Structure 1
Amino acid sequence: MSEWKKLLRDSQSRWDENAEYWDDYMGEKSNQFHRELIRPSTEKLLQVAGNEAILDVACGNGNFSRRLVELGAQVVAFDYSPKMIERAKLRSKEYINQIEYKVIDATDYNSLIQLGYAKFDSAVANMAFMDIADVTPLIKAVHELLKPNGAFVFSITHPCFQTPGARKVHETEDIDGEIIHRNSIQISKYLTPEPYKAVGIKGQPVPHFMFHRSLSYYFGLFFQTGFVLDGMEEPSFSHVKENNTFDWYEIPPVIVLRFRKI
């Protein structure tokens, strides 16, 4: 087995091991990160008009799938973790006629394409791309699955500010008798794609793999496939009183992109 295949399997097994812990943590309402940053920007770019067919990529426990139904959509949602799909189904019993859950590997083009050529009005992937070992098959497949002019909206940790080995720096300075606090990020690399282990939620059973890619890497794949970029958001948290810890007020922790099929 190639090293890449081993990495892929290891990545998937780690997510399956973390699945129940993540579901318990996210619950029905998800966390502040998703509620304040991901969901508003994603909904703004997705522009669900109601009665649309939407594909939810790497759906996790189905939090956003259920939100899409509330907005009027019919949803097909998939994840490569069987445990996560089990949890999603348990949480979605009242949505049985609006959400179809499937176990699918996002790196398997042949499995993805069986979902239906030009079947979906749009597709969404919330904070998943950086967890997928190879996004090329997914991008190609979604282009085929979308109707003409269909949109693919996805969010990722901001690759410009959250790179492997990035350091969060907190400085204090006495300026004319006033203590000034300053937060920043120190990075030493950005352009080279790289897998690394990370902890998304404190206490999760095992670290999971993340796959750093530059914006130009993502843009190149989408452009080559026949998408155009026509929407982007860089949300940050609402400012609160300084508590001497690292903030994400002027440095966006995530980026949300909308690519459209042409």
Structure 2
Amino acid sequence: MSEWKDLIKDSHARWEENAELWDDYMGYESNRYHRELIRPYTEKLLNIKEGQTILDIACGNGNFSRRLAELGANVIAFDYSEKMIERAKMRTKEYINQIDYKVVDATSYEELSELGTEQFDSAVANMALMDIADITPLVQSLHKMLKPNGVFVLSITHPCFQPPGVRKVTETEERDGNVITTNSIQLSKYLNPEPYHAIGIKGQSSPHFMFHRPLSYYHNLFFEDNFVLDGMEEPSFQNVTDKFDWLEIPPVLILRFRKR
């Protein structure tokens, strides 16, 4: 089983419960992951042009929606958390005429269909698909919503290097008179899709659901719905600021699928 429709309501309730904490934590500038990894490489793959209409999926508190507007795009942004959309509207003053925030459930064909047909030059979902219990409706709807040759750029936690149960390992050894510290990861499973609980921010009142899917699942789902993969980035941090460095292990994966 790779889609978990029975967990949709519970997943939504958990995000509603944690929405205000996430908004407070992300603020106007978002966190280091978004600033250094997600935003620059997503912008590169989107290749945003002034006047384009872009769909921001699972927009959260609107951080990237505002960035898209700053770059000259007209944005339709949605999230299934009512509280997140309320916070996004509160944080959006300068670009309010360029951004239309909506409460839409990405697992609902009916709600997605109301966004229109061939309305968008491109679409984006930042660090979201691994939080959505059923992504099939979204992928199938995207092909209808995008204009000819339109693209969808998505970022997710890297499924190869951050599956459920992954362990961070730090080893120290003496080598040629020097003490060498090596960071690595240890994992024992990858291929089987799996839902699991995760804590994204310390202090959140309850863990939210994440849904592990191997790369082949994502690729095959998009290929079956007439998309081609024509862009990919695996960014890593260039400066170490914590005990575990990610210089050689990319924590996120960014893909660009193009409608054909």
TM range (shorter): over 0.9
Residue of structure 2 in register with 1:114 after alignment: 114
Q: Name the CA distance, whole Å, in 2 between partners of 1:9 and 1:68.
A: 30
Correspondence 1:83-232 to 2 at 5 A: 83-232=83-232
Correspondence 1:12-91 to 2 at 5 A: 12-91=12-91
SS in 1 for 2:94: helix
SS in 2 for 1:95: coil
Residue of structure 1 in register with 2:256 after alignment: 258
Q: Name the CA distance, whole Å, in 1 between partners of 2:5 and 2:134.
A: 11
Q: Does 1:246 align with 2:237?
A: no
The structural deviation recorded for 1:78 is 0.3
2:98 alignment partner AA: Q
The structural deviation recorded for 1:8 is 1.2
Q: Name the CA distance, whole Å, in 2 between partners of 1:176 and 1:233.
A: 36
Contact map agreement 2:128 2:155 (CA 8 A) in 1: yes
Q: Name the CA distance, whole Å, in 2 between partners of 1:8 and 1:172.
A: 44
SS in 2 for 1:45: helix
Give CA deviations for 1:133-165 in whole Å, capped at 9, x if unaligned.
Answer: 011100000110000000000000000000111
The structural deviation recorded for 1:93 is 2.5
2:250 alignment partner AA: P
1:92 alignment partner AA: T
Q: Name the CA distance, whole Å, in 1 between partners of 2:255 and 2:50.
A: 21
Closer/same/farther in 2, CA of residues 45 and 4 from structure 1, 3 Å limit: closer
1:131 alignment partner AA: D
Task: Give the alignment's TM-score, normalised by structure 2.
Answer: 0.97
2:115 alignment partner AA: L
The structural deviation recorded for 1:6 is 4.1
Closer/same/farther in 2, CA of residues 133 and 4 from structure 1, 3 Å limit: closer
The structural deviation recorded for 1:240 is 3.5
SS in 1 for 2:253: strand
Q: Return 5+ residue gaps in structure 1 as ranges.
A: none
The structural deviation recorded for 1:110 is 1.4
SS in 2 for 1:107: coil
Aligned residue pairs, count? 258
2:139 alignment partner AA: I
SS in 1 for 2:59: coil
Q: Name the CA distance, whole Å, in 2 between partners of 1:168 and 1:136.
A: 32
Give CA deviations for 1:84-142 in whole Å, capped at 9, x if unaligned.
Answer: 00000001133221100000110001110110100000000000000000111000001
SS in 2 for 1:97: coil
Contact map agreement 2:5 2:134 (CA 8 A) in 1: no
The structural deviation recorded for 1:4 is 4.5
Q: Name the CA distance, whole Å, in 2 between partners of 1:255 and 1:4.
A: 22
Q: Name the CA distance, whole Å, in 2 between partners of 1:212 and 1:64.
A: 24
Q: Name the CA distance, whole Å, in 2 between partners of 1:35 and 1:13.
A: 28
2:213 alignment partner AA: R
Q: Name the CA distance, whole Å, in 2 between partners of 1:18 and 1:5.
A: 21
Task: Give the alignment's TM-score, normalised by structure 1.
Answer: 0.96
The structural deviation recorded for 1:32 is 0.9
Contact map agreement 2:70 2:95 (CA 8 A) in 1: no
